A and B are shown apart, each in its own frame.
Chain A
Amino acid sequence: DAMVIQNPRYQVTQFGKPVTLSCSQTLNHNVMYWYQQKSSQAPKLLFHYYDKDFNNEADTPDNFQSRRPNTSFCFLDIRSPGLGDAAMYLCATSRDPGGGAGAKNIQYFGAGTRLSVL
């Protein structure tokens, strides 16, 4: 059974045309993450939600926004996609963010959305 579901798997948008990527989870995890991964590069954390608390990375462009209307869903909004935003966008979830008391708090990833910008 799929646990972290991303839609769509492939998204094509035009330069400057807003696009929304979605992520849902059936794990009831508290934390949801969005990563950007370009070809042959490491996943780069954009932001994460711990419950309703939004945590933005310092180097995430303002062009990227996120919403988490409830525990199960999280959205990534790219307000004005540029050619440099073409990448795989990965959603991940974990029970809690840290490793306190030896907790693994494994991050489980969705299949990703590959974004192309024309």
Chain B
Amino acid sequence: GQNIDQPTEMTATEGAIVQINCTYQTSGFNGLFWYQQHAGEAPTFLSYNVLDGLEEKGRFSSFLSRSKGYSYLLLKELQMKDSASYLCAVRDANTDKLIFGTGTRLQVFP
């Protein structure tokens, strides 16, 4: 079966660091994506991991462990504008389709 799990909601303080976890079970794996989605808007691509390890891009980093079926998105120096939902999506190697999690709604407080 296919399953993507991520926490429903998280809160953090401006300037802090937050880690959003994602675990997955798919019949075949060919890459993991993180998207940011502000309320009522389209998902925006943040990061892509296909090999184990950490990918860093400015304030955002994403980590992947294929053997554990696990990824996290790390957001540093949080800003108010980072308040959004963060979607984890896995590309199924057999179908090439993206399987999305339900998203983690992050609220950043002053």
Contacts and interface: CB of A to CB of B under 8 A. Distances in A.
A70 interface: no
A72 interface: no
A41 B100 CA distance: 9
Contact of B30 (A4, A40, A99, A108): A99
B41 A42 contact: no
A42 B101 contact: yes
A99 B91 CA distance: 8
A91 to B, nearest CB: 9
B73 to A, nearest CB: 16
A98 B30 CA distance: 8
Given A40-B102, A41-B102, A42-B102, A109 B43 contact: yes
A78 B56 CA distance: 41
A45 B98 contact: yes
Contact of B31 (A42, A99, A108, A112): A99
Given A42-B87, A112-B41, A112-B42, A106 B48 contact: yes
Contacts of A4: 42
A97 interface: yes
A42 B91 contact: no
B93 to A, nearest CB: 7
A42 B97 CA distance: 14
Contacts of B93: 99
A111 B91 contact: no
Interface of A: 4, 40-43, 45, 88, 90, 97-99, 102, 104, 106-112, 114
Interface of B: 4, 30-31, 33, 35, 40-45, 48, 50, 87, 91, 93, 96-98, 100-103, 105
Q: Which 7 A-B pairs have the closest CB atoms?
A: A109-B42, A42-B100, A98-B96, A99-B30, A97-B96, A42-B102, A99-B31
